[in-house]
Structure 1
């Protein structure tokens, strides 16, 4: 019974984020209301509020959905040292967003409120990544601290990248590749990740 309920909740969340993105791409984010998203997904605005804090979070969720679990899975499966595994998993997940992801990132980089929500989304990496790190170092407390630090570094990297967007007249020119600011933000954490690694 619980499994069915969870599947229904997941389906509702997916329907909401897909509707939010579709409407934002069609109309522009400023012309999309929570009521519009709820109606397009076939739920009430009250139900919508159980899943997302606002319009921007739903739109951003369309590109960040499942990102955290994929990063954690990559770290858990990697045979590389922990520091390298974390950095490469984070960079890979942000480096190849796919065609739809690129369209969404273009939308995000050109709207200030979406930029803020996208940077804030890094926080959701903490839980899944902490579990993956804990499995490798056998220390839940240290893993939790390290995962929080990684999430904070990713947020800083995203903020720096988003801050590179330039306004030229009425147009906003998106920033360049995301890889460099992410690697730079994560670099100071390498010694701590290396020190926490279990001896071979």
Structure 2
């Protein structure tokens, strides 16, 4: 049998790291929301999170990384998750299933994400980094779709699938940010159903205005 105290130590360390990381993100977002990005320093963020600037840089390379949340915690990549979905599952359904853990994590951190979206809207200088991160995520999705379908990653199909999936997630998040009555997962699921329909025009949901 293993040593229980030793076996438990990595779990405690991981929780402590996550708590520190979350505290830094929360402090960065709160301060920038109050003052604006250009009026907040790494030192002030660190002080608000009750850690040293050195500790800050153990988690984030820059202030902007803290605002956008940095990399997701370790776990299976979208590539590994997509390949793990049974081969008989249609591609869009499989892709939604592979994305689900990330969507659920965002949903669980709703307050943080709503604040993050507000900070991004108020500080347009964050947009280039956000776009760059989106491009990296889409490149990973392209590789995953190519591996699952056997289609070359430089072909149009996997690139178009990755781009439309990313757009569906972003559109759903913006809708979610203004609708307290909908879960993000439901919105993304609905968006994927629309994509799966080939963007077939739905029946009108309101009476046509008579001219």
TM alignment of 1:36-185, pairs within 5 A: 36=43, 40-42=52-54, 51=61, 55=64, 57-62=65-70, 65=72, 70-79=77-86, 80-97=89-106, 101-111=109-119, 112-113=121-122, 120=131, 121-141=133-153, 145-163=157-175, 165-166=177-178, 176-185=182-191
Distance between the aligned counterparts of 2:42 and 2:137, measured in 1?
Answer: 29
Aligned residues between the structures: 165
Cα 1:164–1:98 shift into 2, 3 Å: closer
Q: Structure 1 length as normaliser, TM-score?
A: 0.55
RMSD: 4.5
Distance between the aligned counterparts of 1:174 and 1:24, measured in 2?
Answer: 24
Cα contact 1:95–1:179 (8 A) shared by 2: yes
1:163 CA drift (Å): 4.2
Q: Note the alpha carbon deviations across 1:132-179, whole angstroms, 9 max, x for none.
A: 22222222236674245434433343234324544xxxxxx7573112
Q: Max radius of gyration: which structure?
A: 2
Task: Compare the two structures and name the one with the higher helix fraction.
Answer: 1
The structure with higher relative contact order (CA 8 Å, sep 6+) is 1
1:182 CA drift (Å): 1.9
TM alignment of 1:2-13, pairs within 5 A: none
The runs of at least 4 aligned residues of structure 1 exceeding 6 Å deviation read none
- For structure 2, the residue ranges without an aligned partner over 5 or more in a row are 1-17, 199-211
- For structure 1, the residue ranges without an aligned partner over 5 or more in a row are 1-13, 167-172, 193-200
